[in-house]
Structure 1
């Protein structure tokens, strides 16, 4: 009888300890991987004169979450870049680029650095992030989608490459909104961002002119879905 009571008490205490540990971890767990999809509005600031045009692109990315607030990702983008005018500028420069890009970025969110346990301003800012990395763009401009001759001087010609592969530096400021499942794990995220891309060469627009390299500005919205193994963070994610 005493042995039975001892065993019962032991298993009761063991079960209580396991339950307490499990409850203590609720809100600390997160998925180590995300897959994301989204769209981007692009604006090129390069050698084509005239009004800056906005063009669309789409992307898919794969994210590795070292923590809920420290992330590394690889992204593939495809879409159009466009700018200039054949008739409304003196140079007549115009281009339309059907591009594909691969981007590698590291992403640091404010929640990694601050104590947001009391909510308030810190809780609202924890999803704010900065990001940088390296991009590789494949430019593809068809002959009928670029104009290199001036409207005022037919002998004035702007050179460049219709097809080129280039490296660029992406610098990003964004905000990630996390949505939690019944286990208080972030399972779905919305990513809003502004990204500035500085070309290392000068052919995003197909023209090589002037001293400045091409700049690409992107405004994006993305959706991310958690997948893969779940691990624990050092503090509550919420």
Structure 2
């Protein structure tokens, strides 16, 4: 009887350890797949944003080309000087006055048409010249000497770029995308997750001998 109880206890312990291991692997797999989904969603949003910016630039450039074409009023003005052949006194003055007024009217119509597309193009180009959130995060973690959490990265970027609404959830999704591409590393300390740059070359080679020497001695 004692042998049977011992065997049953050992079998129960084995099943318990196996179930615990399976649960842990299942949880890790869920975290990995969830991180990949979040990263893909972040990339999709970035592509959609770039598509919107490019579409706006295309519309602005098309408007500029349309405004550069001569207006119909300006093309019709050359027919006015033909009235100079009339024998009535003062007719030439009236024709010149009409021509001047038509030319001034044409300029007044052209100015707003050319300025608005240029201003729109400049604004759109300025927005497109801004670095993406992915670039900002990569630069930030590359400049840090220690790992940073998603909340710390979001706070730092929010202070450096107050004109951009940078949220912690978006930062976490984006940096997880960098981890999936091996552009960043993720470390876990307790319940907190920290990120650092994935740089294959050591940033401070001068400190390597001093760090290895105590171990070899």
One fold, TM greater than 0.5? no
Choose between structure 1 and 2: higher helix proportion: 2
Considering fraction of residues, name the structure with more strand.
Answer: 1
TM-score (norm 2): 0.25
Normalised TM-score (structure 1) = 0.24
